[in-house]
Structure 1
Amino acid sequence: MNKNTVIRGMTAVVLILPLAACASQDIATLSATASTGAATTAEWSYSGDTGPDKWGTLDPQYAACANGTEQSPIDIELSQLKVDKELGEFETNYKPTAFTLMNNGHTIQANDASGSNTITVEGKVYTLVQLHFHKPSENQINGKTFDMEMHLVHKNNEGKLAVLGVLIKSGSENKQLAEMFSKLPKEETEEDLKLDQVIDLNALLPKDKKAFHYKGSLTTPPCTEGVDWTVMEEPIELSEKQIQAFGAIFSDNHRPVQPLNGRTIETQLRR
């Protein structure tokens, strides 16, 4: 999950916590501010001296990137899954939505100020704030890395985060994302770009709702833990042209998989 999760639209819709104000602040910064009283400021990247293996040294507030025990992303080994009959299938309550688009310097992000899209995980309701992309995928399945991954970032009224991860493979053109991927801003934006067409999130998700659930973290500094992760098993498709359009801006913006450290990966369906 990307660091620069915005806080836009709170003046228009009062979300659960201040996650959508007009400033281009982000969930990662909010998480650090909530716990330490100060915003994170250290620059980070996906390569070199500020790359993933250095994040924990860049700022004391990034310590979890190096010392955390429930870090994301992970490799989901199907042979190690725990079937939890009480887990229940996660529920989505999405509707066609007008998103705005930004380049936050680390990814392309689509912001939702409507407050009308939710998921339910383990009986708790989380409201969608934004979605963004990583290339290649961050989470893996049986060691397999996919062409990209989409993260839908939600927050509940207790301030907890839940991310729905959707793996992406090369294939047919994705009609729901056609306008977005034709207008990807090549440079970091100061203001969001408006999209003319709504995005039907229900049509965007894979038809097969098999999913994996685990306790994890943000996948960008400050790598805050306590994030509920749901990763769908079936990937969606983007055309090679769409993938290349993103790759021309962000050739590699993924964090490598992290140790499981004894965590359980749960599924609600028997295999």
Structure 2
Amino acid sequence: MRSAPHLHLAVWALLLLHFAAFVPEARAQQEIDDESEFSYDSRSENGPENWGKIKEEWVTCATGRVQSPIDLSDRHAAQAPNLGYLHHSYRPAEASIVNRGHDITVTFQRDAGSLWINGTAYHLRQVHWHSPSEHHLNGRQYSLELHMVHLSAENKAAVIGRLYKIGRRDHFLHELEPYLRRMAGMKEKEEKVGVVDPWEARGDGEAYYRYMGSLTTPACDEGVIWTVIKRVATVSTHQLKLLTDAVHDGFEMNARPLQKLNGRYISFFCPHDDHERYYAAADH
């Protein structure tokens, strides 16, 4: 990985302040409502390449300059030790699971805790999954991606992304398996699942990428602070099938294609003890 210029952290801070002040609010409610007008089929008239033409309010999907997802390449990432460890205070909370047609979402009914970024609290609202992963790591796409969607008091969005490869079962999904089976093919079906601990969704891994982007479903609103965990988790083939079987036909693969970087900074935070391991991996 290339060393960051000394000015990088200062530039990143200025960019973050710029987006927070001037970019239209990322309406994360768009991550909650079902949008039956769009699809992920590149051959379809309402596929990803045409999202910006479907509705006037979705034009940012086509014209936006800081769209998500992107390829998180170590060649374009700069070390940012001053970002520090992720500061969050998650707590178990009552939740429900919803089949939105294009994905499965766990929505928290009560306070499930917050993620703090630059002194601002972003409150956890919901988590959902995309298969295959939307973000790539060094050109590689993974089997699944979890999004933890947070909102500030000003309705600004911050999302934590976690990638999965096929392997051992994921404990968070394991707890939800009975509900996933009942969700299959049931559009807008919602069930209460009792108390859910979001810390289990967050999982392990302290190293992460940070960049400014957008929501990955229409209206593709920009101004989203993205945090993607470096360590790839595992999910079983059975669990992945439960998620894809539950959504509607045509949404089994619900990942938006990669978007252009357009000169954006990608910052990378890595705990000091892990530097050698991650950099060695990046060189191979």
TM-score band, normalised by shorter chain: 0.7 to 0.9
What amino acid sits opposite 2:29 in the alignment?
Answer: I
**In structure 2, what is the Cα distance between the partners aligned to 1:124 and 1:42?**
33
CA separation of 1:239/1:29 partners in 2, compared to 1, >3 Å: closer, same or farther?
A: closer
Q: Does 1:242 align with 2:239?
A: yes
- Which structure has the larger Rg? 2
1:182 equivalent in alignment to 2:213: no
- Call closer, same or farther: CA 1:26–1:78 in 2, change over 3 Å: closer
* 1:78 match: secondary structure: coil
Unaligned 5+ runs, structure 2: 1-26, 280-284
2:282 corresponding residue in structure 1 = none
Give the aligned partner of residue 27 of structure 1: 29
Equivalent residue, structure 2, for 1:260 = 261
Q: Conserved in 1, the CA contact under 8 Å of 2:31 and 2:215?
A: no
Question: What is the CA distance between 1:268 and its match in structure 2?
Answer: 2.3
Q: Does structure 2 retain, via aligned residues, the 8 Å contact 1:99–1:111?
A: yes
| TM-score normalised by length of structure 2 | 0.78
CA–CA distance in structure 2, aligned partners of residues 144 and 83 of structure 1: 21
Q: Contact 1:217 / 1:223 at 8 angstroms: preserved in 2?
A: yes
Which residue among 208, 213, 217 is the counterpart of 1:216?
A: 213
3-state SS of 1:241 partner: helix
1:102 matched to 2:104: no
Q: Which moved more, 1:48-57 or 1:182-191?
A: 182-191
**Could you tell me which of 217, 223, 239 is aligned with 1:226?**
223
Residue of structure 1 in register with 2:38 after alignment:
44
What amino acid sits opposite 2:193 in the alignment? L
* 1:74 equivalent in structure 2: 70
Distance 1:73 1:64 in 2: 14
Give yes or no for contact 2:34–2:100 (8 Å, CA) kept in 1.
no
Please, what is the CA RMSD of the aligned residues?
2.2
State the shift of 1:177 in Å: 1.7
Aligned residues: 238
Sequence identity (%): 33
How far apart are 1:26 and its partner, in Å? 6.5
Match of 1:159 in 2: 155
Change (3 A) 1:257 1:149: same
2:16 aligns with none
Q: Distance in 1 between matches of 2:80 and 2:119?
A: 14
Q: Distance in 2 between matches of 1:116 and 1:241?
A: 28
Which residue of the partner structure matches residue 140 of structure 2? 144
What residue ranges of structure 1 are gaps of 5+ in the alignment? 1-24, 31-38
TM-superposition CA deviations, 1:165-217 (whole Å, max 9, x none) = 01111111222221323322123444520114x33332333322111000000
**Partner of residue 196, structure 2:** 199
Call closer, same or farther: CA 1:57–1:195 in 2, change over 3 Å. same
Q: Counterpart of 1:86 in 2: which secondary structure?
A: helix
Q: Residues 61-98 of structure 1: CA distance to partner in whole angstroms, max 9, x if unpaired? A: 11111110000000000122112233222212112233
1:5 — aligned with what?
none
TM-superposition CA deviations, 1:33-61 (whole Å, max 9, x none) = xxxxxx99881111111110110111111
Q: Which has the higher helix share?
A: 2
The alignment partner of 1:102 has SS state of strand
Deviations, residues 78-135 of structure 1 (Å, cap 9, x unaligned): 1221122332222121122332101111100000021232111232210011000000
- The question of whether the paired residues in 2 share the 8 Å contact of 1:206 and 1:235 is answered with no
8 Å Cα contact 2:92-2:197 kept in structure 1: yes
